[in-house]
């Protein structure tokens, strides 16, 4: 089975907000996250990911409703566990939702959701979303206790946080990869779908493809960065092609030809 790619378009909206923060819900402003999503789909994206934050620092409400109507793949909506955002999600009804931790001080999501500590707060949200047919994912660190908590919550999917792997080097990176592999194996054995993401790019993606039962990767910043030079459709296509492990050598490094 091919590994699916979800393209996160948050940073397209970040560029828009740099100039149009006060009227991002208006028309004829650029760049348009919906146009970015359509380009990513043309490049082979299996889904579009967007994070509707409480402070609306990039994606805004109008974007989410427009994305749901415009794209032909699936919308994966990242969200913090707040009543306001849950209410919006229940109106939009995206195919997927990924519950993530959220802090106003962070630039981007910095760690996994603590499903052990916050289990009682997450339970009603997971149930409400699942009751309307949304596939719920929990963005968690690759730790056994978090996988066990996700299973107890009835989440059908986890997205393993790959940030520590992406930021490490040498033997530390090897250790983080081994941690991810163990977590993926445990999740799959528990009957939970394995997704992954955060900090992944065109040069560090190879070893991640060895995660057992990996179904989907969600990548944003690297693809949007690459798109400045080749366009978003081509940047997406290049990443989709990299999900084929045959383009990597035996050391997990990208073949350069």
Cite the active site residues.
51, 78, 198
> If DSSP codes are grouped into helix, strand and coil, which group holds residue 136?
strand
C-beta of residue 56 within 8 angstroms of C-beta of residue 104: no
Which of 10, 109, 8 has its CA nearest to residue 59? 10
Task: Please state whether 199 falls in left (phi above 0), alpha (psi between -120 and 50) or beta.
Answer: left
């Amino acid at each position: 089975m091919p590994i699916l790619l979800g393209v996160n378009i948050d940073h397209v909206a970040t560029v828009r907000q740099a100039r149009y923060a006060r009227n991002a819900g208006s028309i004829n402003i650029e760049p348009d996250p919906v146009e970015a999503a359509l380009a990513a789909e043309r490049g082979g994206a299996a889904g579009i990911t967007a994070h509707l934050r409480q402070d609306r620092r990039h994606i805004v409400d109008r974007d989410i409703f427009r994305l749901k109507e415009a794209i032909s793949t699936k919308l994966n909506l990242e969200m913090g566990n707040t009543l306001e955002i849950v209410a919006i999600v229940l109106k939009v009804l995206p195919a997927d939702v990924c519950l993530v931790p959220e802090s106003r001080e962070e630039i981007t999501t910095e760690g996994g959701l603590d499903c052990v500590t916050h289990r009682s707060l997450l339970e009603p949200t997971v149930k409400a979303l699942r009751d309307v047919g949304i596939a719920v994912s929990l963005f968690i660190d690759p730790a056994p206790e978090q996988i066990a908590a996700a299973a107890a919550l009835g989440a059908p999917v986890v997205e393993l946080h790959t940030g520590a792997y992406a930021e490490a080097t040498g033997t530390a990176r090897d250790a983080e990869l081994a941690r991810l592999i163990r977590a993926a194996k445990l999740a799959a054995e528990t009957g939970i779908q394995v997704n992954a993401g955060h900090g992944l790019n065109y040069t560090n993606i190879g070893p991640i493809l060895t995660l057992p039962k990996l179904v989907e990767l969600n990548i944003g910043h690297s693809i949007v960065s690459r798109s400045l030079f080749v366009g978003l459709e081509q940047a997406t296509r290049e990443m989709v092609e990299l999900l084929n492990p045959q383009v990597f050598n035996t050391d997990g490094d990208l073949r350069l030809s």
